[in-house]
Amino acid sequence: MIVDVHAHAVSERFLADLQRRPIAGISAERGDNGTYFMRGGGWDRPSSLDVNLHDLPRRLASLKRREVELQLFAPPPGFFPGPAGRPAANGSKRCTHKSSTLPRKRKA
């Protein structure tokens, strides 16, 4: 059994929420081609997000191709940086709460 224990993910819902209302100074924009761009926080200019961070069907297909049966994930590190690059407590809590909208267990 292959288990990936170092993965990151954010939900589409979370990114859509960031489009409507920034959290801890971070906002998201979605380009015409569907790519999300992050602004604020640790990004000094708009930065694109890897589609595998939020596109669950695409991610599941990738896991199946690689024969990964279980993947543990968390929000990307530094998503809500505070002073000296450490996560800001309030922003980190919000990010973790929003990440809870990702499926807990799903068969690939």
Higher pLDDT pick, 63 / 41: 63
Inter-residue contact 93 to 102 (CB < 8 Å): no
Quick one: what percent of the chain has pLDDT higher than 90? 11
Q: pTM for the complete prediction? A: 0.65
pLDDT, one tens digit per residue, over 12-36 is: 888 899 899 988 778 889 999 888 9
Those residues with Cβ within 8 angstroms of residue 90's Cβ, 6 or more apart along the chain or in another chain:
24, 80
Q: What is the pLDDT, as a whole number, of residue 41?
A: 72
Residue owning tokens 């690689």? 66
Q: What is the pLDDT, as a whole number, of residue 68?
A: 92
pLDDT, one tens digit per residue, over 69-91 is: 998 877 776 565 555 555 555 55
- Give CA 2 to chain center in angstroms: 22
Under the banding of pLDDT at 50, 70 and 90, the label for residue 48 is confident
Rounded to the nearest 5 percent, the helix, strand and coil shares of the chain are 35, 30, 35
Inter-residue contact 30 to 17 (CB < 8 Å): no
The answer, yes or no, to whether residue 47 has pLDDT greater than 70, is yes
